[in-house]
Structure 1
Amino acid sequence: MYRKIGILIALIISTLIVAQDIEVRNDSVKKVYTFKIFREIGSTSWIHTQEAFAEAEEMNADVILLHMNTYGGQVVFADSIRTKILNSNIPVHVFIDNNAASAGALISIACDSIYMRPGANIGAATVVNQSGEKMPDKYQSYMRSTIRATAEAHGKDTVVANGDTTYVWRRDPHIAEAMVDESIYIEGVIDTGKILTFTTLEAIENGFCEGQANNIKEVLTQLDINEYEMTTFRPSFYDGLKGFLTSPILQGILILVIMGGIYFELQTPGVGFPLAAAALAAILYFAPLYIDGLAANWEIILFIVGLVLIALEVFVIPGFGVAGVSGITLVVLGLTFSMLDNDLFDFEPVGFNKLLEALGIVLSGLFGSLLAIIYISKKILATDSALGARIALNTQEDVELGYIGVEASMKELVGESGVANTTLRPSGKVEINDEIYDAVAESGYIEKGTAIKVSRFSHGQLYVVISREK
Structure 2
Amino acid sequence: MDFIIDSSILQSLLLSVIFLAILVEIKTGGTGIGALLGIIAAGVFFGSSYVKGLVSLYQIAIFIVGIIFIIIEILTPTIGLLAGLGVVAILYSLILAMGGDIDAMLMMAISFVIAIIIFALIIKKLPTSKLWRKIILTKTSSSEEGYVSSVDYSRYLHKEGIVLTELRPSGSVKIDDDVLDVVSEGSYISKGEKIRVVKIEGMRIIVRKI
TM-score bucket (shorter structure) = 0.5 to 0.7
* Residue of structure 2 equivalent to 1:367: 113
* Pairs within 5 Å for 1:375-386: 375-378=121-124, 381=125
Partner of 1:357: 103
The percent of aligned pairs where both chains have the same amino acid is 20
SS of 2:164 mapped into structure 1: strand
Higher helix share: 2
Which blocks of at least 5 consecutive residues in structure 2 are unaligned? 127-143, 151-155, 180-190, 193-210
Q: Distance in 2 between matches of 1:432 and 1:419?
A: 17
1:432/1:373 CA distance change after superposition, 3 Å? farther
Match of 2:48 among 288, 301, 312: 288
Q: Deviations over 1:207-231 (max 9, x none)?
A: xxxxxxxxxxxxxxxxxxxxxxxxx
Rounded Cα–Cα distance in structure 2 between residues aligned with 1:375 and 1:432: 41
Deviation, 1:453, is 5.0
Amino acid at match of 2:112: L
Task: Letter of the 1:332 partner, please give it.
Answer: L
- Give the counterpart of 1:438 among 163, 187, 193: 163
Change (3 A) 1:436 1:359: same
Give the SS at the match of 2:79: coil
Which amino acid letter does the alignment assign opposite residue 261 of structure 1? A
* CA deviations over 1:306-347 (Å, ceiling 9, x no partner): 1111112222242222x222211110111111122xxxxxxx
Q: Which has the higher contact order (CA 8 A, sep 6+)?
A: 2
Is the 8 Å Cα contact of residues 5 and 49 (structure 2) preserved in structure 1?
A: no
CA contact (8 A) 1:255 1:366 kept: yes
Task: Name the aligned partner's letter for residue 336 of structure 1.
Answer: I
Question: Secondary structure of 1:277's partner?
Answer: helix
- List per-residue Cα deviations over 1:431-469 (Å, max 9, x = no partner): 6993332225xxxx9899xxx955xxxxx97xxxxxxxx
Check whether the contact 1:313–1:324 (CA below 8 A) recurs between aligned residues: yes
**Aligned-pair Cα RMSD in Å:** 3.6
Is it true that 1:255 corresponds to 2:15 in the alignment?
yes
Residues 311 and 269 from structure 1, CA distance in 2 versus in 1: closer, same or farther, beyond 3 angstroms? closer
Question: 1:268: Cα distance to partner?
Answer: 6.4
The offset of 1:370, in angstroms, is: 2.5
- 2:32 aligned with 1:298, yes or no? no
- Deviation per CA, 1:14-62: give whole Å up to 9, x if none: xxxxxxxxxxxxxxxxxxxxxxxxxxxxxxxxxxxxxxxxxxxxxxxxx
User: Could you tell me how far apart the structure 1 residues matched to 2:89 and 2:30 are?
Assistant: 26
Matched, 1:336 2:95: yes
Q: 1:244 to 1:373 in 2, by over 3 A?
A: same
Contact kept in structure 2, 1:242 and 1:288, CA below 8 Å: no
Q: 1:374 corresponds to which letter in structure 2? A: A
**Change beyond 3 A, Cα 1:419–1:315:** farther
Q: Is the Cα contact below 8 Å between 1:319 and 1:447 reproduced in 2?
A: no
Match of 1:276 among 24, 28, 36: 36
Q: TM-score by structure 1 length?
A: 0.28
